[in-house]
């Protein structure tokens, strides 16, 4: 996890969840934002790993991301449940920092990674493509109640420590590419 200048990524904790629910309502108002109870359930699930991104250590959450590791050992796959960055912090590398942590989880178990993203979220799609994801299909009317379509994207399994020759990382930690309105399959509506 990261420290120092720029975004700070650490573990998402129960004390962060009320702020996550606020960000969720702001970003996903038209697509059934997760309630606080949804975040509580996600954080408690043993197969999920959640991260927070902050402007500095100990500051309130500026974004959050979660991934699940599914399947048997040796045959795992991972699913990104959410990546969200407060609108005030988008375009500053926070989404990239969160995605990198999620991919470390997947690489540790050598698992492919799946996610859904709105077809109109061009910055997030670009970030995912630079990180090795490819569009695998379209889910029509995926996001409700807006009816927006989603791409299903997949990144092939990699091992921790492998060179990521197709991740497109240029060293520019302040890209404008942020997955601010990424709404994946794990979206809870209860």
User: Phi and psi of 160, rounded to 5°?
Assistant: -55, 135
What residues contact residue 176 under an 8 Å CB cut-off, 6+ apart? 90, 91, 123
Helix axes 36-44, 17-27, angle to 10 degrees: 120
Q: What share of the chain is helix, strand, coil (3-state, %, to 5)?
A: 25, 30, 45
What residues contact residue 111 under an 8 Å CB cut-off, 6+ apart? 69, 71, 76, 77, 78, 157
Say yes or no to pLDDT of 171 above 80: no
* Tokens representing residue 190 in the block: 């209860």
- Rounded to two decimals, the pTM is 0.84
36 vs 178: which has the higher pLDDT: 36
Task: For residue 11, give the nearest of 51, 41, 60 by alpha carbon.
Answer: 51
Give the pLDDT mean for 128-147: 96
Distance in angstroms (rounded) separating the CA atoms of residues 106 and 104? 5
* Tokens representing residue 118 in the block: 């709105």
Say yes or no to pLDDT of 177 above 70: no
Per-residue confidence (pLDDT) for residue 75, from 0 to 100: 94
Give the pLDDT mean for 96-116: 97
Judge: domain 8-155, CATH 3.40.630.30. Answer: yes
Per-residue confidence (pLDDT) for residue 168, from 0 to 100: 41
Give the pLDDT mean for 28-49: 95
Task: For residue 132, give the nearest of 154, 163, 117, 151 by alpha carbon.
Answer: 154
What residues contact residue 50 under an 8 Å CB cut-off, 6+ apart? 11, 12, 42, 43, 64, 65, 66
């Amino acid at each position: 996890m990261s420290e120092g200048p720029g975004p700070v990524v650490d573990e998402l904790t129960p004390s962060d969840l009320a702020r996550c629910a606020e960000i969720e309502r702001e970003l996903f108002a038209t697509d059934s934002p997760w309630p606080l109870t949804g975040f509580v359930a996600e954080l408690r699930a043993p197969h999920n790993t959640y991260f927070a991104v902050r402007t500095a250590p100990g500051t309130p959450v500026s974004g959050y991301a979660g991934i699940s590791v599914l399947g048997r050992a040796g045959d795992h796959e991972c699913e990104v449940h959410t990546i969200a960055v407060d609108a005030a912090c988008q375009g500053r590398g926070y989404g990239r920092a969160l995605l990198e942590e999620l991919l470390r989880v997947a690489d540790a178990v050598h698992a492919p990674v799946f996610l859904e993203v709105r077809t109109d979220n061009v910055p997030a799609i670009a970030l995912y493509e630079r990180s090795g994801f490819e569009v695998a299909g379209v889910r029509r009317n995926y996001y409700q109640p807006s009816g927006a379509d989603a791409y299903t994207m997949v990144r092939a399994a990699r091992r921790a420590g492998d060179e990521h020759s197709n991740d497109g990382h240029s060293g520019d930690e302040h890209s404008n590419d942020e997955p601010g309105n990424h709404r994946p399959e794990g979206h809870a509506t209860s």
